[in-house]
Amino acid sequence: MILRRWFALFVITFSAVLNAQIKEEQLDKLIQETITTFDVPGISVGILKDNQIIYSRGHGVRSLENKKDMNANTLVGVASNSKGFTCFALAMMVDAGKLNWDDKVRKHIPEFQMPEPWVTENMTVRDLVTHRSGLSLGAGDLMFFPEGSDFTVDDVIANMKYLKPESSFRSKFRYNNNMYIIAGEVLKRVSGKSWEEFIETEIMKPVGMVNSKASYNRVTDRNNIIDAHTRTEGKVVKIPHDWSPLANPAGGIMSNVRDMLTWAQFLMNDAVTVDGKRLLDTDLFHELWQMQTPLSVSANDSYDSNFRGYGLGWFVTDVKGGYKQVYHTGGLLGTVTQFTMIPDLNLAIVVLTNQMNGSAFNTITNTIKDSYLGYDDRNWLKNYGERNRKYLSYNDSLKAKVYVQVDKMKSNAALPKPKQIVGTYKDAWFGDFTISHDGKSYSIYSKRSSQLKGKLLPYSATTFVSKWDNRSFDADVFVKFTFDKNGKAQSATMEYIAPITDFSFDFGDLELKRVD
């Protein structure tokens, strides 16, 4: 009898947790406060629960320029949430017998090379999409980031051999977009379709993602699309869209809350469309959500997680000591997004924003998640708000100190003379940077990436600061020169001024050697 009563109580409690839900008016209020706290112009949010859309709404404006309302149909670049599509497409090729996850990359791209011969011969398609190449975080991203470079897929493939490993092959998780570009090329070669065509015709169309496109440049109707925004020197401003089509397999998809909820519904329905069509074998589908590359979990993890890792295009973890969570985030210049599924609860949460502040989507996702998992109110808005203010203040202070020093050095007699540093410096994979002097000041520019140009300002006898003309990058760097015995600069390296710099500005991987 006691056991029976305990079981009945357990069922009632368990059901209450599953059916718990943040109230609509509470969520509306939270999103509006999130917009204010993190200075985000617009946010759209969607919730799918038990196969039903229970929330799908936009808040704020899609652009500070046109002031039009953000809504559930507003298109946003979902960025790295595209990676799940890339892996699903590759799995479809496995299902069709045209590919194996453990095929060597060189079977499909014979010209592929990594810095180490053994890695070249043994890297598999699975390795391409699980961030265990041995290269550093974001290695090579400057080939497509920011937009405006002249690199091609062939260049990306050819340049992999010049990127120096940070760790041994398969030993560490280090996020890498260029491997996904190469994976997109694998898809093209085995399917006979471009990545963009395959994603739209073989996945989006049958799934029912009616408004989504595989690339920004494939969006023909731009009446309901965001503008990108970022905090530039203390103020949030509109900036141009920035994403190179070269990197579409890593982050090119344009979508909205409605379509992303449709994608979530399809995935949580075991890869079966609303009209009953299965797009992928059950076992192959479930493999996508199996951990391939482990990641550590902190001792005081907010969700009592036991494991965390990366699957095939997805992060996977457990929350509240047992519920499996499958998720990803994405970021472009001026946009960040988050896509979360807890299949055990039949729950999906989508948050799309038009400003570069991940604290905003974490605040909303975590609050919604907590309401279903049964956590007490943990006031994520306050916690992330305080953390965000401190982080921005810290980064601003670092940058301010650097430019105080720059001002002090303007007339320092110990500074190198123009003839000592003017010239062209070449990196093996990124190409040339040219440093010039017009009689008053130095300039620096990349020959292959048109937006990377700016002023070169003295900081010390051996170090300058590259202050990029495009201030929205928030990516100024130290340029550290080495000199020969005659005082002429022979090489240079770059280093971030502040940690807020996006990792895809991988200036730290450049090894510039003077060529004239």
CATH among 1.10.150.530, 3.30.560.10, 3.40.710.10, 1.10.620.20 for 2-378:
3.40.710.10
pTM: 0.94
Count of helix runs (H) and strand runs (E) in the chain: 16, 20
* pLDDT of 413: 84
Q: Which of 468, 454, 504 is CA-nearest to residue 232? A: 468
Beta strands in 343-414 (DSSP E): 347-353
Q: Estimate the share of the chain in helix, then strand, then coil, as percent rounded to the nearest 5.
A: 35, 25, 40
User: Which run of H or E residues covers position 95?
Assistant: helix 83-95
Pairing mode of beta strands 431-437, 347-353 = unpaired
* pLDDT of 21: 85
Does 2.40.128.50 match the CATH number of domain 398-514? Answer: yes
| Cβ–Cβ under 8 Å, residues 483 and 420 | yes
Spatial neighbors of 12 by CB under 8 A, at least 6 apart, are none
**Tens-of-pLDDT digits for all 516 residues of the chain?**
333 333 333 333 333 343 458 999 999 999 999 999 999 999 999 999 999 999 999 999 999 999 999 999 999 999 999 999 999 999 999 999 999 999 999 999 999 999 999 999 999 999 999 999 999 999 999 999 999 999 999 999 999 999 999 999 999 999 999 999 999 999 999 999 999 999 999 999 999 999 999 999 999 999 999 999 999 999 999 999 999 999 999 999 999 999 999 999 999 999 999 999 999 999 999 999 999 999 999 999 999 999 999 999 999 999 997 999 999 999 999 999 999 999 999 999 999 999 999 999 999 999 999 999 999 999 999 999 999 999 999 999 999 999 999 999 988 888 999 999 999 999 999 999 999 999 999 999 999 999 999 999 999 999 999 999 999 999 999 999 999 999 999 999 999 999 999 999 999 999 999 999
Six token digits for residue 436: 């010039």
Distances (CA, A) of 160 to 48, 128, 169: 40, 12, 14
* pLDDT of 20: 52
* pLDDT of 15: 36
Residue type, 60: G
Nearest-angstrom CA–CA distance, 291 and 324: 11
Beta strands in 402-509 (DSSP E): 423-427, 431-437, 442-446, 453-458, 463-468, 477-483, 489-496
Instruction: Considering the chain, tell me which residue range(s) the CATH 2.40.128.50 domain(s) occupy.
Output: 398-514
Phi, psi of 117 (to 5 degrees): -55, -40
Instruction: Considering the chain, tell me which residue range(s) the CATH 3.40.710.10 domain(s) occupy.
Output: 2-378
Nearest-angstrom CA–CA distance, 33 and 90: 40
